[in-house]
Each structure stands twice: as C-alpha cells, then as structure tokens.
Amino acid sequence: MSTLYLTRGLPASGKTTWARALVASRRPGRIVRVNRDDLRRSMVDPDYAAPVDAVERVISAAERLLVQGMLQDGVDVVVDATNLRATVARGWLALAEECGAHWHVEDVVADLEECVRRDAARPERERVGEERLRDLHARFVDPATGRMPPLAPPRRPLPEAEPCQHGPVAHENEWYFCLKHHQVEPWDGCRAADRLGPYPDKETAAHALEIAEQRNKAADEYDES
Ligand SMILES: Nc1ncnc2c1ncn2[C@@H]1O[C@H](COP(=O)(O)OP(=O)(O)OP(=O)(O)O)[C@@H](O)[C@H]1O
Ligand SMILES: [Mg+2]
C-alpha cells in the first residue's frame, strides 16, 4: 500500500529540504516528490509571476492527477507545499484515502525570524517576502505552541440514511431536531437525512441549530484563519 506524505509549514521552514531527504533515503522509484512550484515552472510561461486563477486551476489539476496516479500505482508521494490551510491539507488526506493509501502529515517547524532570514537569502524568484511570511505566521501558527493547530482527519462521506428499523436497540436517550418540521423528536421519527442529532436530551436537541452554527463557525474560522 502506498503512502502520501504531506508537509505543513511556513515558507522557508525547510519542507522541500525534508522532502528531498525523504526521497533520498528510499530506493529510487519508490517515492516521488510533487511540488506545484516546480510543476508551474515546467508547465507554463517562465515569465508568469502573479497568480492567475485559470493557470493555478490547471496546475492544481496536474498536481492532483500526478499524486492520484502515483498512489494508485503503489508509489509513495511527498507533497511539499505549505498546506497551511486546513481545507487544502484535508483535501490531500481525503485523496489518499480515496486511493486506498496511508497518509502522514509532517509539520516542519522553524522559528519565524529564521524563516525570514532564509527567505531573504533565497534567489529572488523563490522569495515570498517578509510581509507575507509574517502574515502567514499570524494566521496559521498557534502563538502558544509555535506550531500549526492539529489537523482533523479528512471528512468522510456521510453513510446513506438507513431505513427506520424498529428493533430491540434502546434509543430512549436519543433526541433529534427535524429540519423539515422544525421540531424536536425521538429516535423514531423522520429520516436521518432530514434531522440533526442525536442529542442526549430534548433541551439540547431544541438548540440543535445554534449548536450546528457554532460548530460551523469554529470550523470556518479554523479553515480560513
Ligand atoms: N534545517 C535547516 N537549517 C538551515 N537552513 C535550512 C534548513 N532547512 C532548510 N534550510 C534552508 O532554508 C531555505 C529554504 O528551505 P526549503 O526550500 O526546504 O524551504 P520550504 O519550506 O520548502 O520553502 P517554500 O515553502 O518556500 O518552498 C533553503 O535555502 C534551505 O537550504
Ligand atoms: Mg519548498
């Protein structure tokens, strides 16, 4: 079974250095490094600089196809982009799972000031600049730990709603909020796709919409922060 290695980290933190060392440590042909900056350089006009949506979409599609194809062929892959946005990182993990591959997330942590120094020492075309580095650090690095927040596993598709089954299983402590009828109901109610829950009591189920909204807001803040 193949493995997807995903790095996370600030620009110039050492992700590519880590990825190259990983590739060098393995038998040739058993693992490949996929890097969208390298793909972009090889696939589009070398003068292309400022991001253009249409170009970035093509590069993303090429990147994804490569990773998918390699994993399905049993070759390990390391994707050494920043992957700081949780939705992006989780998208890669979901792709690995779709391909039946293992995954590993490698957080490459380096001090912000060190990243600024390393970035300034790079050739101009590779530099991201101090302002962007500080902005990314403020948005994605937890000041308390100096690390990226833990990454939740990818979302799996919800299982198909099961038809109601009246059986010996006890459901007396399960309460639901039906989105169709806007009411609290016991387990023996509307179909699963139309309702939120289970909640441990009627009172909590009555607040299902507020609870869901708070959770979504927290998830969005984490993804977009
Ligand atoms: N542990 C380290 N100690 C000192 N210098 C390092 C270390 N790791 C990487 N570097 C240097 O820092 C620079 C950036 O490293 P690298 O290209 O691996 O970063 P990166 O995280 O891949 O950056 P980017 O996100 O911009 O691709 C390089 O010049 C590299 O040689
Ligand atoms: Mg890199």
Domain of 183, in residue numbers: 175-224
Residue 197 counted as domain residue: yes
Asked if residue 108 and residue 200 are part of one domain, the reply reads: no
Identify the residue whose C-alpha is closest to ligand 1 atom 7. Answer: 14
Share of the chain above pLDDT 90, in %: 60
In this structure, the number of other CB atoms found within 10 A of the CB of residue 29 comes to 7
Asked if residue 134 and residue 179 are part of one domain, the reply reads: no
Which run of H or of E encompasses 208? Answer: helix 208-224
Residue 156 counted as domain residue: no
Residue 165 counted as domain residue: no
Q: Using one digit for the tens of pLDDT, what is the confidence trace for 113-152? A: 999 999 999 999 889 999 999 999 999 999 999 999 998 8
Mean per-residue pLDDT, 160-182: 71
Which residue, 88, 118, 140, sits at the end of a domain? 140
Residue 170 counted as domain residue: no
Number of domains in the chain: 2
Confidence of residue 50 (pLDDT cuts 50, 70, 90): confident
How many angstroms is it from 36 CA to the middle of ligand 2? Answer: 9
**Distance from C-alpha of 136 to C-alpha of 67, rounded to nearest angstrom:** 26
- What pLDDT does residue 178 have? 86
Measured from the CB, is residue 109 less than 6 Å from ligand 1? no
Asked if residue 112 and residue 30 are part of one domain, the reply reads: yes
Asked if the model's pLDDT at residue 172 lies above 80, the reply is no
Asked if the model's pLDDT at residue 154 lies above 50, the reply is yes
Residue 159 counted as domain residue: no
Q: Which ligand 1 atom sits nearest the alpha carbon of residue 108? A: 21
Tokens for 141, please give them.
Answer: 């690095």
Burial class of 177 by CB neighbour count within 10 A (0 to 12, 13 to 18, 19+): buried
- What pLDDT does residue 4 have? 98
CATH number assigned to the domain comprising residue 15: 3.40.50.300
Asked if the model's pLDDT at residue 62 lies above 70, the reply is yes
C-alpha separations of 165 from 22, 154, 181, 189 in Å: 51, 30, 21, 11
**Distance from C-alpha of 95 to C-alpha of 88, rounded to nearest angstrom:** 11
Asked if residue 101 and residue 10 are part of one domain, the reply reads: yes
